[in-house]
Structure 1
């Protein structure tokens, strides 16, 4: 049995999408985006130190708590490594194609460094505010593109130093990719180069957006209990509709049945 805390604001991807769509725009400081990444790196560093592979790291599988801290979740594909430092998948299962490392796609091999690759894609998701990686590329086309050297391009407003960190996660040689501990320290270094943002101000920026969208939702839906507190309603109808746009239409939501 695994007992997890209740994460009031739901998954990180939906939160990020809500910052771009909806009637009430939300401003999330760049410092906050880096903090999200640092939290995920810390969680993955602990997971790997205990000998576990996540194998499904993505913004949709990271949860945002009431304190605006991010926790890694969804361990449905995770594996414990015992006698070796890798896991080879043999059975056909649904896997997140666009988040997988090139060696996982080509050789069905998973290591901590393949989780690092997925972390790089998750960083890209965070900076792009929840966009789907490799837009316009079908799952069956991805491996050939990666083998030929293609990688995700930097999102708009992405700092060049941060993009280089992402690129380091996508090195074709797993042993040349940084570990999660190193990634966390690198991201903290980038955060230290930015102006210090007071925690109260950071929370105000985000929570005002959440509260405003909650008010919109409350005005659109009848209340059966006037005293009910609105929870996890930062995703208004326009945001939900955005998930149906071509940008978000994926083969099985990014998963494809495979032996990888």
Structure 2
């Protein structure tokens, strides 16, 4: 299958290792991954803060870039996939562009969060990973409530050789990030983060994983300030790990056919 990678802003700027890992997993399973280098922000930040008019051109651009790029699109981010699936058509219709709304709906039906793609579309739970650590899983709000990925990430983790999966107390409670929520409501966000960190530490895990880099950034920042020794690792990175200890390989996306100098690089 030909699969288009949606890099996401945060992944492109700060967490390229999750993107590399996503490519590594899918290529290991025999699929072709393409990277449309003209992609930009999906518009989630604008929509979530009420700037729908500013989001409209971003939605239009996203649809133009990904509509014919591949059979399906994938992002290692429940948050961004949630925007594509549940907000893009709404933004287009509010802007009076019904043709764009229909195109956005078609693309939304072919856009998946990583665990959804692996389990529901590719029919895989064992991706050949090896990760000998005690791991707990934080279900991010968008993946849990917007996408309803359910236990798909847990099914993938349970199939990883060497991994000891431990339960996270109050797992479904928000970590307090919420994008601009953490900025506008810093004290509330910090209190929510403190509860989440306490539960991670109670689990006895060495690693806290999730499907969104944004939540891991929030939780990981707090854990590092506590000098807890607990790491945050994206789900894709765990699934890309192999028995010989090789992480996702250094990938430079080939942009020769679709643009120059806009790809995600190690």
> Structure 2 length as normaliser, TM-score?
0.28
